[in-house]
Amino acid sequence: MKMAIFDCFSGASGNMITGSLLNVTLGQDDLLDVINSMGLNIELRLKEVKRNGIKANLVEVEEQGKSRRYSEVVELIAGADIEEVVKKESLQIFERIAKAEGKIHGTDYRNAIFHEVGSDDAIFDVVCAVMGITRLKNKGYRIFTTPVYAGRGFVETHHGILPVPAPATLEIVKNSKLRVLMEGEGELLTPTGAAILSHFSEGAPNLPFCVEGINYGAGTRELEKPNILRLILAEGDMADSIVIVETNIDDMSGEDIANAMEVLSKICHDISLIPATGKKSRPAWILKAIADHSRAEDVAETIMRETTSIGVRIIPVHHRIKANRHFKKIEVEVGGKKHIVRVKVSDYRAKPEFEDIKQISRETGIPVIKVRKIVEEKINEA
């Protein structure tokens, strides 16, 4: 498995992420293209600097610090002449930031006003970082992060003096795969850096791994320890640690169990129901859920809330092996009309999404089995 690991021992910011990608998947022309295509009012300077003797790329931009509404940022990115995938991922990152701002200030996120994160330099950082990371993913890399040092103390913002990590930063990383350490000198993890890494990171990398390449992006400040973000390109095992959360049920109706499984399917990798014989020879079920370690207690609580179970078993799994996989969309003609079908593609096979096949069957009146055959033939042609 190919891994791109952001090693965040000194936090992360938008320009540090961009710097770590420079000369890996980004060049100077790419950065200039972003500025020109979006009409950003910034001056770009790229430097090679040394932080505690380590050579790193410093991406500096100078701009006027204009504040924008979330809707203005969306309009600017949506109208830019950049790749559609970069546009889509960038918009999702700014939506994450807007929702965090809205939650902190008690307002509708769609009316959020960005100050530090709505200026041209922040927009530049997000779009450039997304461009570089999506190119890594296109090369087959999966994105991971080591625990992120977020810093301590206080920082001066448009809203006045705030504690570090900033409230918006903590809100952004909530429910993400980032693991945060509230240690370090000053603000090390910025809202922009938090939003980018929260969006892409799959969590901590599997160990051990073989190192293939290293690159460094520098922060602006000089600190006691090197203020740099290290990008490690590596090859590692496909092992993936999970837990199995299970319980026995012998006193629920079929409808209630089905509803519980529907709820659980939204927070688990997989959910299954196995017929069993319970105490006093009663017919029973074994409800078995596969989940991330970080979600184990949430899943256990959901099982006890949605079923009659008063106790569950959490079984750690040493590792699982999963193939690299992604979704793609294909266009297929069925019943004289073109339809879009999502296809899950792994290293070994491609499988059409059944819900899409079922929807086409309903719209056309053609049996599911025939629709699937047409779709599979189209996949084999690709």
User: CA-to-CA distance for 330 and 340, rounded, in angstroms?
Assistant: 6
pLDDT at residue 117 in the model: 54
pLDDT at residue 104 in the model: 81
Cα distances (angstroms) measured from residue 161 to each of 154, 286, 292: 6, 53, 37
pLDDT at residue 239 in the model: 62
User: CA-to-CA distance for 91 and 97, rounded, in angstroms?
Assistant: 10
Helices (H), the chain: 14-21, 28-38, 70-78, 84-105, 120-138, 167-173, 191-200, 254-264, 296-306, 354-364, 368-381
pLDDT band at 382 (very low <50, low <70, confident <90, very high): low
| Mean local confidence (pLDDT), 298-315 | 94
> What is the torsion angle, in degrees rounded to the nearest 10, for the CA atoms of residue 66, residue 69, residue 70 and residue 74?
-70
pLDDT at residue 63 in the model: 74
Phi/psi at 322 (nearest 5 deg)?
Answer: -125, 140
Read off the pLDDT of residues 99-126 as tens digits, 9 standing for 90 and up. Answer: 888 888 777 667 766 655 558 888 999 9
Identify the structural domains of the chain with CATH numbers, from first to last. 2-236 (no CATH), 240-321 (3.30.70.1380), 325-381 (3.10.20.300)
Q: Within 13 Å of residue 65, how many CA atoms lie on the same side as its CB?
A: 4
Q: What pTM value is reported for the model?
A: 0.70
String of b and e for 226-241 (b: at least 16 CB within 10 Å)? bbbbbbbbbebeeebe
Provide the percentage of residues in the chain whose pLDDT is more than 90: 68
Provide the percentage of residues in the chain whose pLDDT is more than 70: 93
Which amino acid, 299? Answer: V
Residue 110: both structure tokens together: 């769609």
DSSP 17-53: HHHHHBTTTB-HHHHHHHHHHHT--EEEEEEEEEETT
Contact 148, 11 (CB under 8 A): yes
CA 170 to chain centre: 16
